[in-house]
Amino acid sequence: MHIEIDGISKHFASTAALHPVSLSIPSGALVALLGPSGSGKTTLLRILGGLEFPTAGRVLFDGQDATGLSVQDRRAGVVFQSYALFRHMTVFNNIAYGLNARPRATRPAKAEIARRVTKLLDLIQLPDIGARYPSQLSGGQRQRVALARALAIEPRMLLLDEPFGALDAMVRKELRQGLRDIHDETGLTTVFVTHDQEEAMELADLVVVMSMGRIEQVGRPADIRARPATSFVRDFITA
């Protein structure tokens, strides 16, 4: 799905988290929103997911205005920084949650839900953990379960907030490849937020460098590295 961000701004009380920003994300791209904390990258991601409402501007999904679309109806697969797994549910029920939450008319049959959950567990290469609770999983396993849960609703796009932030260096490298593989397999337009320039450069097709609520530069990793548009970008990517 093609995402068009058209003049989006966001004010909290009197401070501006986002100055009007515009961005076009081609269908099927893997995009990194890169910037230090306070750069507005997470706010932009939350606006895409319908968790924040922009003060001004529009969001278009495949050319259709989705600005006023409720979170529930957006079908954005969101992976939160803390993963936000439901601790009182098994991994199986976590992944099945979105399907079970549908109104009866559109809810798949039990067997179909089980089939889809099993398939997703295979996709994240953790086929045997369905009966466990989140507290019994490692950090990396939790991240993959959160990803599977987001994928279960057959999302139109995948939004990830610092998906590797809570993991140690070894696991981080491994899961980067995992995300790349899942992106390539599903073909979903994927946006992830990171403050780690190496992660952004290595993983993304398109990197959006942000600072203080503004987009500093948009480009392929190699182009940004070769031709940083501003002194901020130069400093940030060499830091």
Partner 1 sequence: MGRPLIHRSPMPGLGLSMGITLTMLCLVVLLPIGALLTKGATFGFANMWDVVNRERVWAALFLSFRLSLFAAGFNLVLGVVLAWVLVRYRFPGRRLLDAAVDLPFALPTAVAGIALTALYAPNGAFGSLAATIGWQIAYTQWGIFLALVFVGLPFVTRTVQPVVEEIEREVEEASATLGASRGHTIRRVILPMLAPAAMTGFALSLARAVGEYGSVIFIAGNIPLITEIAPLLIVIRLEEFDYDAAAAIGIAMLLVSFAMLLLINLIQVWSRRRIGHV
Partner 2 sequence: MSDITHPAGFRPATTEHPLTRWLLVGFAVLAMGLLVFAPLVAVFAEALRDGVTAALASLGNPDAQAAIRLTLAIAAIAVPLNAAFGIAAAWFITKFDFRGKAVLITLIDLPFSVSPVVAGLCIVLMFGANSALGGWLVAQGYPVVFALPGIVLATMFVTFPFVARELIPVMVEQGRAEEEAALTLGASGWRTFWTVTLPNIRWALLYGVLLCNARAMGEFGAVAVVSGKIRGQTATMPITIEMLYNEYLSVAAFSLAAVLSVLALVTLLFKTVLELRHADQLAATHRH
The least CB distance from residue 6 to partner 2, in Å, is 16
Out of partner 1, partner 2, none, what residue 13 binds, judged by CB under 5 to 8 A for its kind, is partner 2
Out of partner 2, partner 1, none, what residue 53 binds, judged by CB under 5 to 8 A for its kind, is partner 2
Out of partner 2, partner 1, none, what residue 88 binds, judged by CB under 5 to 8 A for its kind, is partner 1
Measured CA to CA, the distance from residue 137 to residue 145 in angstroms comes to 9
Pick the closer one to partner 2 by CB: 49 or 221: 49
Out of partner 1, partner 2, none, what residue 55 binds, judged by CB under 5 to 8 A for its kind, is partner 2
Measured CA to CA, the distance from residue 119 to residue 116 in angstroms comes to 5
Out of partner 2, partner 1, none, what residue 112 binds, judged by CB under 5 to 8 A for its kind, is none
Closest C-alpha among 65, 15, 25, 56 to residue 189 = 25
The least CB distance from residue 68 to partner 2, in Å, is 6
How many other CB atoms are there within 10 angstroms of residue 55's CB atom? 15
What does the binding site for partner 1 look like in residue numbers (CB under 8 A)? 49-51, 71-78, 80-82, 84-88, 97-98, 101-102, 133-136, 149-150, 152-153
The least CB distance from residue 97 to partner 1, in Å, is 6
Closest C-alpha among 45, 110, 102, 107 to residue 73 = 102
Closest C-alpha among 207, 143, 133 to residue 172 = 143
Pick the closer one to partner 1 by CB: 155 or 228: 155
Closest C-alpha among 221, 214, 191, 202 to residue 33 = 191
The least CB distance from residue 49 to partner 2, in Å, is 9
Pick the closer one to partner 1 by CB: 158 or 203: 158
Pick the closer one to partner 1 by CB: 99 or 218: 99
Tokens of 139: 């950090």
